[in-house]
Structure 1
Amino acid sequence: MKLSEEEILAKCTVMCKNTLMETLDISFCEVGDDYLVAKMPVTPKVHQPDGVLHGGAMVALAESVGSAASHIFLDTDKFYIRGLEISANHVKSIKEGYVYAKAEIVHKGRTTQLWDIKLRNEEGKLISIVKLTTIALAKS
């Protein structure tokens, strides 16, 4: 049985309880057949000392949405999902508002998955491009 968009987003919300995602106020807001979108408020809590969004917070958002997407699109009753590698290129700074991260599947193999994650501001301008590789490990 396929879950509705609302059910998938609710599942993602439950996964965030008492985690870094909750600490950073990350919330999931859109899902499609091959993508997941999350957003994070840009406040002083996630700024670097000079008042712009910290690159580490952007990477945390990207890995959160990519890993959650792996959980949604793979059978997590049979597999654990773990991050293998992440790389980010930050192209623009942001001081306030929201940053949105859209994880889109590039490769969905039996063992590894490759995600392209673009972070954009509220106007749709590109902030960062992230590549995330995840692995599905069989539960014993």
Structure 2
Amino acid sequence: MNWDNTLLESLGIEVISAEKEQVVVKMPVDQRTRQPAGFLHGGASAALAETAASIGAVLQVNPEKYDVFGIEINANHIHAKRNGEVTACATPLHVGKTTMVWQIHISDEQNRLICVSRCTIGVVLKRG
């Protein structure tokens, strides 16, 4: 996949590994991903989580026939983070024909849990 000129490029998100049963992505905690008080922005964590789930969902379908879209996400922010990087690990909880549910744990370099998220992905037949 080409990440150029996407949110992934803007936030510095890097794909570490991508398999059907586990996706790992990482993101820096820097000026692109901090909120004004200097901490990792919750929206950046949510974007990282949905990125991991969406990549995993694409691996579960035939991308020539189906598109996948995030249709719901929640995120519980457990610990604050000022700098360094965070890594998201996404695993599927449910893989169905029209929806998927992914669990995502975001941790820091010391393996401290920063955020836990769940993302529902819609699977849509391509038109035309």
Q: TM-score range by the shorter chain?
A: over 0.9
TM-score by length of 2: 0.95
TM-score by length of 1: 0.87
Higher relative contact order (CA 8 A, sep 6+): 2
1:23 pairs, out of 6, 10, 17, with: 10
Whichever structure has more strand as a proportion of its residues is 2
Report the number of matched residues.
127
Deviation (angstroms), 1:50: 1.2
Runs of 4+ in 1 over 3 A off after TM superposition: none
The separation in 2 between residues aligned to 1:67 and 1:107, in whole angstroms, is: 13
Alignment partner, residue 108 of structure 1 = 95
The separation in 1 between residues aligned to 2:122 and 2:33, in whole angstroms, is: 28
Aligned identity (percent) is: 36
Alignment partner, residue 58 of structure 2 = 71
Structure 2 unaligned residues grouped into runs of 5+: none
1:36 pairs, out of 19, 23, 27, with: 23
What letter corresponds to residue 84 of structure 1 in structure 2? I
The separation in 1 between residues aligned to 2:118 and 2:49, in whole angstroms, is: 9
Partner secondary structure for residue 74 of structure 2: strand
1:120 maps onto 2:107 in alignment: yes
Structure 1 unaligned residues grouped into runs of 5+: 1-10
1:47 pairs, out of 29, 34, 39, with: 34
Deviation (angstroms), 1:45: 2.0
Q: Deviations over 1:61-118 (max 9, x none)?
A: 1111111111122111110101110000000011111100111000000110000001
Alignment partner, residue 60 of structure 1 = 47
